[in-house]
Amino acid sequence: MTNQNISHMTAAAVLSVTLAGCAADPGSAPAATPGPQGTPGSAQGCKADKMEDSALIGKTESEATALLAGCRWRIGERNGEQFMGTMDYWEDRRTLGIANGKVTWVKRG
């Protein structure tokens, strides 16, 4: 075996151990994964486009989700926990803040 082969095998072993350490704890609750949801331009359209964004405030998360079917949307915050979002700008995308199961704010972009 050459030193280069040993070096590659060592790097692979270190990477394997590192990735194993990043695995989720099976006993912990799954992390919320908000992000772009919905499919813009779907056949049924977007019910929320027929109303002001402020009309979503006070709705339950499931009510808002139903209204946003076919829209581009994501959850930006839930119960004070902020979620990472992409920095790309979509004029039609709504970002929602949720507290205690209800929409508390809506932002576009």
* Domains identified in the chain and CATH numbers: 34-108 (3.30.10)
pTM: 0.61
Q: Which single residue is written with the structure tokens 């006993």?
A: 27
pLDDT, averaged per 10 consecutive residues of the chain (109 residues), comes to 52 47 44 48 73 96 92 94 90 94 96
The residue to which tokens 């809506």 are assigned: 106
- From the list 36, 35, 92, 105, the residue with the least C-alpha distance to 64 is 105
Both tokens of 20, joined, read 């194993």
> What's the confidence (pLDDT) of residue 41?
52
